[in-house]
Amino acid sequence: MNKIILIGNLTRDPELRTTPNGYSVCEFTIAVNDRNARRQQNGQESAQFFRISAWRQLGENCQRYLAKGRKVFVSGPLTARTYQANDGTTRVSLEVQADDVEFLSSRNDDNMAGGYAPAPAAPAPMAQSSGFTAVETDELPF
């Protein structure tokens, strides 16, 4: 079985194109931080880069809702492709054909550090008319 699961941030905006057969394909790249302390360089985490391709409706949704910097979950088979760089060296590109893409940050997260929203305020105590009695948290045994 060949399936990889990744969580990372988009390095650029997704690009949508249509094949000659009429299928939509969206391509983007994500950076996955390597948290292994031995691989840190100059006190900063290193990253692995993966090219992602999402087909048909999944690709159209990726193009519509994703943008550079957004955090995503991607799963699918991993393929390694080799190519000749302009300087003549052989390089390897890791590509995932996405079976599943989940958007982990929303459009409103652009202005928030780390892509996380502040915790929602605690709900107001329920009135006794709904059959529940409001209890102060200091009275709870746990």
C-alpha of 55 from chain center: 17
Report the chain's mean pLDDT, rounded to a whole number: 80
Tell me: pLDDT of 55 over 80: yes
- Domain 4-107: which topology? OB fold (Dihydrolipoamide Acetyltransferase, E2P) (2.40.50)
Tell me: pLDDT of 129 over 50: yes
What average pLDDT does range 74-82 have in this prediction? 93
For residues 134 and 62, which has the higher predicted lDDT (pLDDT)? Answer: 62
Q: Which residues lie across from 44 on neighbouring strands? A: 41
What local confidence, expressed as pLDDT, does residue 93 receive? 83
Task: Write phi, then psi, for 105 (nearest 5 degrees).
Answer: -130, 150
Tell me: pLDDT of 126 over 60: no
pLDDT digits (tens, 9 = 90+) for 96-108: 999 999 999 866 6
Tell me: pLDDT of 63 over 50: yes
